A and B are shown apart, each in its own frame.
Chain A
Amino acid sequence: MNLPELSVLIRIHDFSRVHLLCEAIFSVIIQSNVRVFPVVLCQRFTDSELEELKAILDPYRSLSDGRISVVNVDFGSGDIRSHLLNEGLRRRKTRYVSILDFDDVMYHDSYTTLISALQDNEKAAIAFGGIIWADCEDIGRTPYVRNKASLPRQGCVYDLFVDNFCPFHSFVVDTTRVAEEDLCFNENLGILEDYDFILRVSARYGADFSAIGRAVGEYRRRPNDTIREKAAIGAVPGAPREYECARRHIDQLKRELFVEVPVDEFTALRHHWSGLPYSASREEQLRHQIEILGSRTGRQLAATRALLRSFQLPTGLRWEFGYVDLVRREADEWVICGWVAAGVGETYPDEVFAMDTDGALTATRADMPREDTEKTVKVRDTGFELRLATQSDSPPIVFVVVDGRLRTLPSAHSQHHRIDSPSIRPRRSSILDWLTIKDKR
């Protein structure tokens, strides 16, 4: 059976971190249903470093039937990340190409997934998958992953045009669908070179996001990531930051790029984020969602309740964003306590809402630490306590809003204790300052 073939360009600039490269290489050579050709692009390694690198990679070469190649690029000075990739692209021998940083990893069926997406969509030259963000720390010679987030954001090509949310290793390019002059990285950019490439290819040749909801790899964020160092450069007054220069370039590129938008996608674009234009801030989007809930008409309330029920998570064990572990009736109010699972990025909610069958709504912040936090390796759940004054005998529905979508919190057993203290008593959210309580029709 002829398997599709893909080159993965792996950049490395620091020989002392070659142990991380081994895990990256291992993750790509064991891919299923695709023949992967890793191309390791070294930035100005010495002869002895190259010899040592080849010796370390030799077993992986045996495991991959000799498909690993090592290219040392001795060019210029400073960071030549874009030039490295261009060298890799020039040497490619396969139709499909992907990119991976030496300290990240891919999941075992990632390339099969993305190549299938390209094979199914002839109008796309680049296919994107989801990337899990992992907080990582190098302890000795091995990475220690402290935390992982679920797929942080699942957008579409229009979200990409607003801002980049797709890490470097989230895509595969079909090079037969891209003109040679666009199949290169801007060597004047030492940062955001990936976004420049993604924008040009997506706008001119089409992008596929059918696999964006599927995790294809991990972005391992470390405290000393270079991109953070670059963003911090330029503290001297008057000196332009490299990052800001790159951003200006990106903004100019966006002014020059045009795309064709089918009418139905344009309509979807306008109705994205609950009808608000893309420039709407996240707070406005949340307020809009709450306004839907806060409608005065009974018909819309019923529709909202139906909407909430449609988001019900399976009972039992899934608590992707959190869960409720205590519900009790006290006088005229329901008391609901639970946990919200903290995570990386902006995905995880920090506000929890409760609504009863009559439409009464309340909210609180989830900011109570767990009593046993210090005793565990790493726990990031935060607790909440909601009080909803209502005559309804049915317990309220508890939910959070994540990326503009409603997610109900299931019930689950827990014996963890929330730390109550006067300084962190749950308080009503500022969103409720303008919220009107429903009609009780």
Chain B
Amino acid sequence: MNFNAPLLHSGSTNLKHRDALSITIGIVTLSRPMERLRLLFQSIKVACEILQREIPSASVSIYLKCSNRLPRLDFPFDFIDNCFDNIGFGASHNRLMQECFSNSESDMYFCLNDDTIVDPYCLLEAHEFARSNAFNVLFEAIQTPLEHPKPYDPLSGITPWCSGAAMFITRSIFMQTGGFDENMFMYCEDVDLSWRVRCYGGSCRLLPSARVAHEVSLGGAKPREIRRQMLESARYLGEKWSAPEFVRAIETILVEEGFYPDPIYLRAVRIANRFPPDLDIMEFRQLLSFCIPRWR
């Protein structure tokens, strides 16, 4: 793989100076309470109305991947995949992106967590940002009020990596990168995608004017299985990006926290495409922050 190959673009994928864009919102949900899902879809509906009031030719489609046990939602989805087997965050969104970029004229995919609520002006802000910026920018909506502590430049929005909770992926980026690495079941696949985009000459930005409320808890321990998935993904990421010290640190944590009785039980990580270390892009010294956080 040529790590220096720039992100490809063509006239059809260059978003700059287009009159209007087509956005697909992709949501993967497994067990979210119905009342909160309804509020999420209501917020999407209001955000779409604001976007189309300002830019009538912009279009938004909603793709959903969910369990077949989810009660029928009264919402005009454009695509529903309810043959849900839990294949992981990255794989689920990749399926939706394959569908939207193959079978529609969508310019951009808004990867949105099911535990979020979209600010009414979010889609409009994102649309205008995408129209005035290059095709190879991976960007995210700011999470509010519990902001992610990772740093970003308040003037340019440049950030070390974008969070997958509210991430905008252009067609060009998906075509070049293939989307998320499906070897990471959940967590860290957004960091990996961000770093790959940067390897290919793109950039990661945070858009403070596009807000999304993300219902995370402050502090508190994650459920054990979620914690294990996070550590396993981190271990894979460290192997993929040639960070042996980080990998050892994660393996130590996996054993100390009781997920494995001894290091000999850790399964070998098989990496198809390993990336060379690049300290300008990756940050493992802050462990699972993958950046120097603004606060701890």
Query: Residues of A at under 8 Å CB distance from B?
Result: 22-23, 26-27, 30, 32, 59-60, 62-63, 105-109, 132, 137, 139, 141-149, 215, 217-218, 315-317, 319-320, 341, 343, 376-379, 412-416
Contacts and interface: CB of A to CB of B under 8 A. Distances in A.
Contacts of B144: 23, 26-27, 105
A412 B284 CA distance: 13
A110 to B, nearest CB: 10
Contacts of B209: 141-142
A27 B145 contact: yes
28 contacts: A27-B145, A27-B213, A30-B43, A30-B213, A32-B36, A32-B215, A60-B120, A105-B144, A107-B218, A108-B145, A139-B154, A139-B155, A142-B154, A142-B209, A144-B208, A145-B294, A146-B294, A148-B149, A148-B295, A215-B219, A317-B253, A319-B296, A343-B295, A377-B292, A378-B151, A378-B294, A415-B285, A416-B285
Contacts of B146: 107
Contacts of B294: 145-148, 377-378
Given A63-B120, A106-B145, A107-B218, A147 B46 contact: no
A26 B213 contact: yes
A250 B290 CA distance: 48
A144 B154 contact: yes
B39 interface: yes
B20 interface: no
A108 B121 contact: no
A109 B43 CA distance: 18
A107 B42 contact: no
A420 to B, nearest CB: 20
Interface in B19-65: 36, 39, 42-43, 46-47, 49-50
- Greatest chain A CB density within 10 A among B144, B209, B218 is at B218
B117 interface: yes
Nearest to B43: A63
Contacts of B256: 315-316
Nearest to A145: B147
A343 B42 CA distance: 38
A122 to B, nearest CB: 28
Nearest to B218: A215
A109 B214 CA distance: 12
B245 interface: yes
B249 interface: yes
A105 B145 contact: yes
Nearest to A322: B296
Interface in B268-296: 285, 287-288, 292, 294-296
Interface string B94-127: 0000000000000000000000010111000000
A415 B208 CA distance: 31
Contacts of B78: none
Contacts of B215: 32, 108-109
Interface in B198-249: 208-209, 211, 213, 215, 218-219, 245, 249
Contacts of A412: 287
Interface in B135-194: 142, 144-147, 149, 151-155
Contacts of A137: 154
Among the interface residues B209, B219, B295, which one has the most CB atoms of the partner chain A within 10 A? B295
Contacts of A27: 144-145, 213
A217 B145 contact: yes
Contacts of A106: 145
B211 A376 contact: no
Given A108-B145, A317-B253, A412-B287, 14 more contacts: A22-B119, A30-B43, A59-B46, A62-B49, A107-B145, A141-B209, A142-B208, A146-B294, A316-B253, A341-B295, A377-B292, A378-B151, A378-B294, A413-B249
The 8 closest A-B pairs by CB, nearest first: A59-B120, A105-B145, A142-B208, A144-B154, A377-B151, A148-B295, A139-B154, A30-B117
Contacts of B249: 413
A59 B45 CA distance: 10
Contacts of A60: 120
Contacts of B219: 215
B287 A317 contact: yes
B81 interface: no
A108 B213 contact: yes
A30 B115 CA distance: 11
Given A59-B49, A63-B46, A317-B287, A26 B296 contact: no
Contacts of B85: none
B292 A376 contact: yes
B257 interface: yes
A408 B218 CA distance: 21
Nearest to A379: B292
Most A C-beta atoms less than 10 A away, residue of B39, B142, B245, B296? B296
Contacts of A32: 36, 215
